[in-house]
């Protein structure tokens, strides 16, 4: 019997963007199970609560059968060991992301040799999008409808940054 491979794509997803969705859709085709891990970071001020982020990500990804949205706190590698996850999926947009993700991949490999990191470049049309940039331009009233899923856009409008 073939081994079932479980992977995780983790981040704050505050909010989830079309760039995230691009990576998730592609990664979901590569693995039997793909968890979307929403990180609880008490040191980071977020626009959406963890519960709101979970719901937005679930709505956004409802068309993908093998995806499960969860939240966690602590080290990602510890979560993976406890949940039999063998692959970390990471997305990159630019060379700056490559440097950071490579450093993280090496650290994670040092912490747990059995867990691999797969790095996927985003589609070029999303290469400039980040959750932080979305919130920043929204603050100034920019049109972001092509950058985030529709359900996210609706919630962002409700929370419009003052």
Q: Could you say which of 6, 35, 53, 93 is catalytic?
A: 93
Which residues in 42-67 are b (16+ Cβ under 10 Å) and which e? eeeebbbebeebbebbebbbeebeeb
44 is catalytic: yes
95 is catalytic: no
Residue 120 backbone dihedrals phi, psi, to 5 degrees: -110, 130
Rg (the chain; Cα; Å): 16
**146 vs 158, more confident:** 146
Q: Could you say which of 3, 29, 44, 63 is catalytic?
A: 44
Residue 68 backbone dihedrals phi, psi, to 5 degrees: -125, 130
Contact present, 10 and 76 (Cβ < 8 Å): yes
pLDDT-above-90 percentage for the chain: 82
Q: Could you say which of 6, 12, 20, 53 is catalytic?
A: 20
114 is catalytic: no
* pLDDT computed for residue 160 by the predictor: 67
59 is catalytic: no
pLDDT tens digits for 103-121?
A: 999 999 999 999 999 999 9
- pLDDT (mean) for 132-138: 91
**42 vs 102, more confident:** 102
| Reported pTM | 0.92
- pLDDT (mean) for 88-105: 94
| Structural domains of the chain sorted by starting position, each given as residue range(s) with its CATH number in brackets | 6-158 (3.40.50.620)
């Amino acid at each position: 019997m073939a081994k079932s491979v479980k992977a995780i794509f983790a981040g704050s997803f505050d909010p989830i963007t079309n760039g995230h969705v691009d990576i998730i859709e592609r990664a979901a085709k590569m693995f039997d199970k793909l968890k979307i891990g929403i990180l609880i970071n008490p040191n980071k001020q977020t626009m959406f609560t963890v519960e709101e982020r979970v719901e937005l990500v679930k709505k956004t990804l409802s068309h993908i059968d093998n995806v499960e949205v969860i939240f966690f706190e602590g080290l990602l590698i510890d979560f993976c060991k406890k949940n039999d996850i063998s692959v970390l999926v990471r997305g990159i947009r630019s060379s700056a992301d490559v440097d950071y993700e490579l450093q993280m991949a090496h650290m994670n490999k040092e912490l747990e040799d059995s867990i691999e990191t797969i790095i996927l470049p985003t589609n070029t049309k999303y290469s400039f999008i980040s959750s932080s940039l979305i919130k920043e331009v929204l603050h100034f009233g920019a049109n972001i409808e092509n950058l985030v899923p529709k359900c996210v856009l609706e919630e962002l409008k409700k929370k419009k940054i003052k």
